[in-house]
A and B are shown apart, each in its own frame.
Chain A
């Protein structure tokens, strides 16, 4: 085995919940990044993969465990570890050249030396001619090239990429990814290891020598998948398709919290607690997938990568929608395939009013938070309750942000299911009254 560069030993990270107790974002993560490898981190939102990347970058400190860089403890950002950001993080008032020189300037390097090194990288990354441009004049793809050049000019040992291609359109993202791989394989850059955080399964499989799959609540490494295919890989090849299939399976296996990995998960097994986070699924997406599933050529059963392709959702979105469908009992999973339940079939055939009614019924049955809200509204004489009440409750188990997100989702679903109404201005949740006409 080659030399380790960055080592994480039993690393944990917490945040403080409303009652003052610590909740884990990341728990017991052991990971070693070695020379000569590309590692991809995959996981659903909230699984702490981004937190782990930032711990490795020295941007945030771990609360537990040890972070070692070349055998020395890492307290802050290090010279040998640089990062490429999701939304580029370019300084809009600096020209391309100045942006690329940023890190060199911070080291106090003389201007001529700086310019020489910047020019070399700018040529390498295909930015020559744009040296004097401001970032706002560039397209997204060109901006991310600047972001990459800015990191590479520092000749880092470790390159961290935080969903670096997800803000770009598919074509541009793929092109840029291939170029990075070419540079890496041809040894034109001194980088010894690359860590990629991604939500795109294909991207991870195409790039990485190793894929780490994160599970959420708390964030931890669920599975590790070595990929020994030779580069360059072909996205259409059978091996790659098979691997993508396998990753989907691994990831959805983790979605049912009590599901036994890979086995059949019936809808009854996916049970939520009151204070759990809700899948962030758009209702239109949920219905879209159900309809696609019911139609030709799937007829009620589909391979996950196929349905991803068909619906053109990102993997992150798709997984959230699947979670929601499983939760509400509209679909179930078997061996990486998604199947329509009997209820799901009826749902697709129903008209809008019936759909809303069915949706509401499933919500009451399967989403404890929504059932709790409805119960509260029934008990209350006036029939309206402030949202803060529920936010406070959620903050016992979730971070501020996640609590807000969970409640927003519950409100959106509950409104659709015609269970309650919500007034944005006052932040009050109201009992829904069928015969009352909406104000003007």
Chain B
């Protein structure tokens, strides 16, 4: 049988692949063509002042969606690389850790919209006469909304590699490069992926804002979903908004099915805890991919390249070599470094005081702090409200296994959907019924983020040990006692996890939600978000900086004094 084969030309014999390959071929080809087309469009010649053609014709929506998706994925790729480099550097070098980690902590709480107006000029100068500069600015804005929490999770993952695994890596003499690929990255992978998903949702939310860029008093609208929505709002075209919502639903569904499900299912092997509580994710696409021959070979080729690099970057010396000797860490450079950091911080503080005195004045600072308190009240009240609604619902769903997994997927999906698409609808309603924007704009802040609460509570409720349920039933716990002694403590840790995410998201959403326009009408609620947005429209840099700075302080204070404590409490005594 095999002998006969050699009489045929090689292409025929080896043009193998199985039916799975053939079925996959159209998808692969389509993806390549679309990517090529999209990226070609991104690098078109462009002069400042030129208006890019935009239309509200729904026929163009797939094209706009493609451009936006490309931006999202480029930003995501950059975020992944950034996270890995960040984690590798900070865990390896104490000096880097001391500066980079607090810096990231601050960056994380800065609302991303602030970045946009500052960076766009620089990027345009980088690629003169080409659209790429503006594209880069938009991608950078998306990057800033995605990268920080991913970097943090990677850092935490790298740091919490179990001691025994780390020792094993040493005993088997893994070099830094080998350690990264074989130990640290796989270990950090589940957390990183989870944060990637969060980031993607955040990215969708801010893509709307980042594609319509204000530069030197004119708005550049990059072709994409964000610009389409911005244009629809400008022209008060409700039909177009409807189309945009529809297209976005499709997009979120596609990226969930084609990108994240397969990724999650694949990453299941990186789960560390030996007795994983979560059920394994499954993905039809991954199963399909794994059944192909040809496509598998391509993937394996990448695997081989990685293995080759692992063989190349190996440790060249043994433990008896003088090179393995660890020098006693000298304290002097460390102290010098600490002194440098302290000096920089003092200088920054001094220039901050100087800036406030000369540019904005202390009364303005007081005003902004009061606005911050308003926004904080909103966030807290809405979270409480959402908790009252979603905690019982989540517990009920979580206890019914038939519903749990399905509803969880739906909630996850809703969390990924950019809620700002429905803002115009809210504006129309508020204007129609003459409602008070200070109150009725607030729900918009939590519109997209409440789902985190819901799906975390569902997850928490579905992992309550069966024995505990039986015990509660056996002792006849009912009414308030049942909630106080059994259900609420049982879901508390997952509730806190969800609430942290929801609160972070709500702060960010405040910028968009407190200042909403629809055609000529603009509604604004008193708060720090609308202050920042207003100043952005006015192009007042010192006040944008002030607003962002104070919001940053609020968010960090909130994280430190409220969430971190609740989290430690949940960690130390309310878990199974």
Give A residues with C-beta under 8 Å from B.
Answer: 54, 57-59, 61, 69-70, 72-79, 81-83, 85-87, 89, 91-94, 102-103, 105-111, 134, 136, 150, 154, 424-425
Is the pair B274, A92 in contact by a Cβ cutoff of 8 Å? yes
Chain A binder among B94-102, B178-186, B415-423: B178-186
Is the pair B319, A74 in contact by a Cβ cutoff of 8 Å? yes
Q: Does B171 contact A (CB under 8 A)?
A: yes
- Shortest distance between the CB of B162 and any CB in chain A (Å): 8
Main secondary structure on A side of the interface with B: loop
- Shortest distance between the CB of B175 and any CB in chain A (Å): 7
What are 16 sample pairs from A and B whose C-beta atoms fall under 8 A apart? A58-B324, A75-B321, A75-B325, A76-B318, A76-B324, A77-B171, A83-B171, A91-B165, A91-B183, A92-B274, A93-B270, A105-B310, A106-B175, A106-B314, A108-B314, A110-B311
Instruction: Give the chain A neighbours of B311 by CB distance below 8 A.
Output: 105, 108-110
Is the pair A77, B173 in contact by a Cβ cutoff of 8 Å? yes
Is the pair A89, B319 in contact by a Cβ cutoff of 8 Å? no
Instruction: Give the chain A neighbours of B320 by CB distance below 8 A.
Output: 69-70, 72-75, 78
- B314's nearest neighbour on chain A, judged by CB, is A108
- A92's nearest neighbour on chain B, judged by CB, is B272
- Shortest distance between the CB of A67 and any CB in chain B (Å): 10
- Shortest distance between the CB of A103 and any CB in chain B (Å): 4
- Shortest distance between the CB of A119 and any CB in chain B (Å): 18
Instruction: Give the chain A neighbours of B186 by CB distance below 8 A.
Output: 91, 93
Q: Does B336 contact A (CB under 8 A)?
A: no
Is the pair A85, B167 in contact by a Cβ cutoff of 8 Å? yes
Is the pair A106, B172 in contact by a Cβ cutoff of 8 Å? yes
CA distance A102 to B182 in the complex (A): 9
CA distance A110 to B272 in the complex (A): 29
CA distance A111 to B271 in the complex (A): 26
Cross-interface CB contact of A105 among B178, B270, B326, cutoff 8 Å: B178
- B328's nearest neighbour on chain A, judged by CB, is A61
Is the pair A69, B319 in contact by a Cβ cutoff of 8 Å? yes
- Shortest distance between the CB of B318 and any CB in chain A (Å): 5
B424-473 contacts to A, CB under 8 A, are none
B142-184 contacts to A, CB under 8 A, are 162, 164-165, 167-168, 170-175, 178, 182-183
Chain A-chain B contacts (Cβ-Cβ < 8 Å), number: 108
Give B residues with C-beta under 8 Å from A.
Answer: 162, 164-165, 167-168, 170-175, 178, 182-183, 186, 189, 269-272, 274, 307, 310-312, 314-315, 318-322, 324-326, 573
Instruction: Give the chain A neighbours of B183 by CB distance below 8 A.
Output: 91
Is the pair B319, A77 in contact by a Cβ cutoff of 8 Å? yes
Instruction: Give the chain A neighbours of B319 by CB distance below 8 A.
Output: 58, 69, 74-79, 81
Main secondary structure on B side of the interface with A: helix
Is the pair B314, A61 in contact by a Cβ cutoff of 8 Å? no
A61-B326, A69-B320, A105-B178 known; A134+B269 contact, CB < 8 A: yes
Is the pair A85, B164 in contact by a Cβ cutoff of 8 Å? yes
For the complex of A and B, 5 pairs with smallest distance between CB atoms: A76-B324, A78-B319, A103-B172, A76-B319, A108-B311
A-B contacts besides A59-B167, A102-B172, 10 pairs, CB < 8 Å:
A57-B167, A69-B319, A78-B319, A85-B168, A92-B274, A93-B189, A93-B270, A103-B173, A105-B178, A425-B573
Q: Name the residue among B311, B325, B326 with the largest chain A CB count within 10 angstroms.
A: B311
Cross-interface CB contact of B174 among A54, A89, A106, cutoff 8 Å: A106
Instruction: Give the chain A neighbours of B318 by CB distance below 8 A.
Output: 76, 78-79
CA distance A78 to B172 in the complex (A): 9
Q: Name the residue among B171, B183, B310 with the largest chain A CB count within 10 angstroms.
A: B171
Is the pair B312, A108 in contact by a Cβ cutoff of 8 Å? yes
Is the pair B573, A93 in contact by a Cβ cutoff of 8 Å? no
CA distance A22 to B108 in the complex (A): 41
CA distance A39 to B310 in the complex (A): 36
- Shortest distance between the CB of A86 and any CB in chain B (Å): 7
Instruction: Give the chain A neighbours of B573 by CB distance below 8 A.
Output: 424-425
- B189's nearest neighbour on chain A, judged by CB, is A93
CA distance A54 to B270 in the complex (A): 28
- A160's nearest neighbour on chain B, judged by CB, is B171
A74-B320, A75-B321, A82-B172 known; A89+B165 contact, CB < 8 A: yes
CA distance A424 to B569 in the complex (A): 11
Instruction: Give the chain B neighbours of A111 by CB distance below 8 A.
Output: 307
Instruction: Give the chain A neighbours of B314 by CB distance below 8 A.
Output: 106-108
Is the pair B326, A87 in contact by a Cβ cutoff of 8 Å? no
Cross-interface CB contact of B173 among A54, A91, A94, A106, cutoff 8 Å: A106
Is the pair B274, A136 in contact by a Cβ cutoff of 8 Å? yes
Instruction: Give the chain B neighbours of A75 by CB distance below 8 A.
Output: 319-322, 324-326
- Shortest distance between the CB of A75 and any CB in chain B (Å): 4
CA distance A103 to B178 in the complex (A): 10
- B276's nearest neighbour on chain A, judged by CB, is A136
Is the pair B269, A93 in contact by a Cβ cutoff of 8 Å? yes
Q: Name the residue among B172, B186, B322 with the largest chain A CB count within 10 angstroms.
A: B172
- Shortest distance between the CB of A96 and any CB in chain B (Å): 13
